[in-house]
Amino acid sequence: MFTKKPATAAALLALCLSALLTAPAQAQRSTDLQRVEVSGQPTPRTDVAKACPDIGETLQRSLARVVHLERRTGTVNVDFSLREQAVTQVSSQGGPFEYHAAIRRAVRSLDCQGSTQATASYRFQIAFTQEDAAEQDGPRVAVLLPRH
């Protein structure tokens, strides 16, 4: 494939040389891996009763009054952090809003045993049910459920 015009031949030659010279650089660039940083948080633990053995009784006692007054049913999602024996960063979502402040106070008052090395995050649900008060001493306050 030869052409009679020298300018066209020179342009084709320059294009071929350019492709040959830049191909290794392009190949090198395509094999270089970019650095990717992934950050996140560990999955919260759901074995709350293991760290806080009296959680059921404490929640039952602490929430009895507000449940008796409000008589609302629903499920509240609860998250908290534990370092040594200190419960921190308590949050509650979903369910009857009227219970949220009482839940946070009750969870902060829990007697828990945590690890001394690091802060652990915990997650659970509280299901509020109103059963027939004639069958029991009063309304059923809370049932602990693992939260997924």
- Distances in Å between the Cα of 35 and the Cα atoms of 32, 38, 58 are 9, 10, 49
Between CA 145 and CA 98 the distance in angstroms is 20
Tell me the per-residue pLDDT of 2-25, one tens digit each, with 9 for 90 and over.
556 666 666 666 666 666 666 565
Where residue 118 falls among pLDDT bands split at 50, 70, 90?
A: confident
Between CA 30 and CA 9 the distance in angstroms is 31
For the chain, domains (ranges, CATH) are 48-146 (3.30.2420)
Higher pLDDT, 19 or 38: 38
Sheet holding 74-83, edge to edge: 86-93, 74-83, 120-128, 143-146
What is the chain's percent helix, strand, coil content, to nearest 5? Answer: 40, 20, 40
Tell me the per-residue pLDDT of 59-109, one tens digit each, with 9 for 90 and over.
999 999 999 898 898 999 999 999 888 899 999 999 899 999 999 999 999
pTM of the model: 0.65
